[in-house]
Amino acid sequence: MKIFPAELVKAIDQYTIANEPIASIDLMERASMAVTSKVMELYPESNQEFSIFAGSGNNGGDGLAIARMLSQQGYRTQIYFIQTTPSTTSDTAINLGRIVPSENLTIETLKPEAVIPYVTPETVIIDTLFGSGVNRPLDAFNKHMVEYINDSGCTIISVDLPSGLMAEDNSTNDPDAIIRADYTITLELPKLALLLPENEQYVGELSIVPIGLHPKALEGFPSNMHFITNEMASKMLYKRRKFAHKGTFGHCYLIAGSQKMLGAAILSSKACMKTGAGLLTTHIPAGLQTALNIAVPEVMIDQDSNTECFTQYSSITNYDAIGVGPGLGTNTTTIATLAQLLTDARRMPMVIDADGLNILAYNKELLKTLPKFAILTPHPKEFERLAGSWNNDIEKIERLYQFAKEHSAYIVLKGAHTIVASPDGRLWFASVGNPGMATAGSGDVLTGIILSLLGQGYSPEEASILGVHLHGLAGDIAAKEESQEALIASSIVDSIGRAFKFLWEIRNL
C-alpha cells in the first residue's frame, strides 16, 4: 500500500470518479458508509449520542452523510454545520439537502460570530471540519472551534485527518489549531502525518477504511513511500522445498552478548532459529557456553578467547549471513575487532544493531567500510548518534533518506510505525506492532529475525521489510494473549510461529 501526498490522493479520487466510473457524490456516500460502519463498530449501542461538526469542504460533506446514516441506524445525532467560507462544495451542498431533521437528527448552522453550543461530555464528537484540503494553519474562528472541541471532554473521532493537521509537513502548523482526536478513521490511504510520532497527540488510535478507490490509480500513481500490509509481507515468504535440507536455509553467524549482557545473545539466537534458519553459530565470550546452550540447545557455539567481550572471531567463510551487536559492549578491543570484521565481511549480508551501531556512531570512519546493503537497525537515539539530531519528523525522514543513500545501507528506524529506508530512496512504514513491545530485548529479537531471513537468502530489502512485519505481528499476537504489560521479549519470540502461520493463511487465501 502506497502513502501518497494530499494532491495525489485527490487525483486518485478524480481517477476513480472518471474511470470506475462513479459520481463524486456516490463516492462520498461510499466513503461515509465505510466510516459509519467503523463508528458503529466502536459504538454498537444505539443509545450513544453523536455531535458532528461539519465544515463546508468535502470532509464536512462526509460528516453530513455520516450524520444521516447514524440517525437512520437509531443514534441521536446533532449536526453543527460551520459556515466560514462562502463556498460550500457541490457534494457538501447535496448532502446538506439530504438532511431531513427528525427526532434523531437535528442541524444547526454556525457562522463566525455564533456562540458555540454546549456539548455534554457523554456525547461523542465526530470531527469533519477539515480533511486533506488544509494547506495552512487554521484561521482564528476555526481555531476557536478546534479549541472548544478539544476542551469539551468528549471522545473525539476524526474523519480522514484530525482537522487542522496537514497531510504531510506540520513543522509550521499551529499546535493549538489541530484537533486532538481519540480515534482517526482515515479513508483508504494512510497519510504520512498520521504515521509520525510527533503527531501522536492529534491522531489517537488510527484505523484505515477502504472506500473502493480505483486499483489502477493506486498501482499506477507513483510514490516512494509504502505502508507494509499483511498481503505484501505474505507474498514475500519463500516456500520451503520438499527436498530441502538444513544447508538450504543458511548458516547464520551471530556475534552478540558480553559478560553482563548474555540475554541479548540468547534472545537473538532464539529468534533466529524460530524464523527458520538452517544453522546458527553464536559467538559469545568464553565461559558463557552452558547458559546459552541450556537456553537455546539448537545453537552452535563459537567462544571468544576473552571472558568479558568480543575480541576475536574464527573464519567467516562458511557463513551465509552475519548479525552483530546485541549486548556486545563497546570495549576498545571490541571496536577494533568489529572494524576487522567489517573489512573481512565486505560481500556478506549483514545486520548491525545496538552496540554495533554505537561503535559505528563513535567511530564514523567505520561507516565507510560497511558491507554493501548492510542492514542497520537503530532506535531513534542510536540513529541520532549516527546521523545527527533533527527538529521535527519530516527532517528525520530527510536524514533517513540521506543516510541510507550515502552509506548504501538499509536503515530500520525502530519505534511505533518503524521505518525501513532503502539506499535508492524508498521508505516502508510498519503497520503492526504495539507499545507492549517497548520492553528490554525486543530489538534483539528483531535482529535475530532479520539475520535468519538474510541467512535463508532473502534480499536485504525483503529481510528488513518482512522482518519488521513478522516482529510486529508476533508482538501483536503476544499482546492479545497476555496484555501489553506482561509482554516481554521472550513472548515475541514465542509468537513468531503464529505470525508465520497467519501470513501463510493470507498467502493461501
Residues binding ligand NAX (CB under 6 A):
10, 13, 24, 27-28, 31, 55, 57-62, 85, 89, 130-139, 142, 159-160, 187
Nearest to 414 by CA among 390, 381, 460: 381
Instruction: Enumerate the known binding-site residues.
Output: 58-62, 127, 131-137, 160, 163, 264, 327, 379, 414-418, 443-444
Map residue 193 onto helix, strand or coil: helix
- Number of residues lying near ligand ADP (CB under 6 A): 18
Cα–Cα–Cα angle for 187, 191, 194, rounded to 5 degrees: 105
Nearest to 78 by CA among 63, 93, 89, 94: 63
Nearest to 237 by CA among 505, 503, 476: 503
Map residue 306 onto helix, strand or coil: coil
Alpha helices in 43-139 (DSSP H): 58-72, 90-97
Q: Does residue 158 bind K ion (CB under 5 A)?
A: yes
Query: 169 or 462, CB closer to ligand NAX?
Result: 169
The site partner of 89 among ligand ADP, K ion, ligand NAX, none (C-beta below 5 to 8 Å per kind) is: ligand NAX
CB of 264 to ligand ADP, least distance (A): 7
Nearest to 382 by CA among 410, 366, 360, 350: 360
Q: Does residue 441 bind ligand ADP (CB under 6 A)?
A: yes
Query: 89 or 377, CB closer to K ion?
Result: 89
- Return the residue of 13, 91, 393, 444 that touches ligand ADP, per CB under 6 A: 444
- The DSSP 8-state label assigned to residue 54 in this structure reads E
Alpha helices in 296-430 (DSSP H): 332-344, 354-362, 380-387, 393-406
Name residue 253's beta-bridge partners. Answer: 281, 322
Query: 127 or 304, CB closer to K ion?
Result: 127
CA atoms within 13 A on the CB side of 138: 24
Q: Does residue 443 bind ligand ADP (CB under 6 A)?
A: yes
Q: Does residue 163 bind K ion (CB under 5 A)?
A: yes
Q: Does residue 435 bind ligand ADP (CB under 6 A)?
A: yes
CB of 62 to K ion, least distance (A): 8
Name the segment binding ligand ADP (CB under 6 A); options: 131-139, 231-239, 304-312, 434-442: 434-442
Cα–Cα–Cα angle for 252, 256, 257, rounded to 5 degrees: 145
How far apart, in whole angstroms, are the C-alpha atoms of residue 405 and residue 455?
24
CB of 257 to ligand NAX, least distance (A): 50
> Where in 362-401 is the site for ligand ADP (CB under 6 A)?
379
Which DSSP helix (H) or strand (E) runs through 155?
A: strand 155-159
The site partner of 184 among ligand NAX, ligand ADP, K ion, none (C-beta below 5 to 8 Å per kind) is: none
- The DSSP 8-state label assigned to residue 456 in this structure reads T
Name the segment binding K ion (CB under 5 A); options: 8-16, 41-49, 152-160, 180-188: 152-160
The site partner of 116 among ligand NAX, K ion, ligand ADP, none (C-beta below 5 to 8 Å per kind) is: none
Instruction: Enumerate the known binding-site residues for K(+).
Output: 59, 127, 163
CB of 149 to K ion, least distance (A): 11
How far apart, in whole angstroms, are the C-alpha atoms of residue 102 and residue 205?
32
CB 445 within 8 A of CB 475: no
The site partner of 158 among ligand NAX, K ion, ligand ADP, none (C-beta below 5 to 8 Å per kind) is: K ion
CB 295 within 8 A of CB 266: yes
CB of 398 to ligand ADP, least distance (A): 21
Q: Does residue 446 bind ligand ADP (CB under 6 A)?
A: yes
Q: Does residue 434 bind ligand ADP (CB under 6 A)?
A: yes
> Where in 403-432 is the site for ligand ADP (CB under 6 A)?
414-416, 418
Query: 9 or 261, CB closer to ligand ADP?
Result: 261
Amino acid at 505: E
How far apart, in whole angstroms, are the C-alpha atoms of residue 295 and residue 433?
26
Q: Is 44 exposed, middle or buried (0-12, 13-18, 19+ CB in 10 A)?
A: exposed
Which DSSP helix (H) or strand (E) runs through 284?
A: strand 279-284
- Return the residue of 204, 433, 460, 467 that touches ligand ADP, per CB under 6 A: 433
Binding footprint of ligand ADP on the chain (CB under 6 A): 354, 379, 414-416, 418, 433-435, 437-438, 440-444, 446, 471
Return residues touching K ion (CB under 5 A). Answer: 127, 158-159, 163
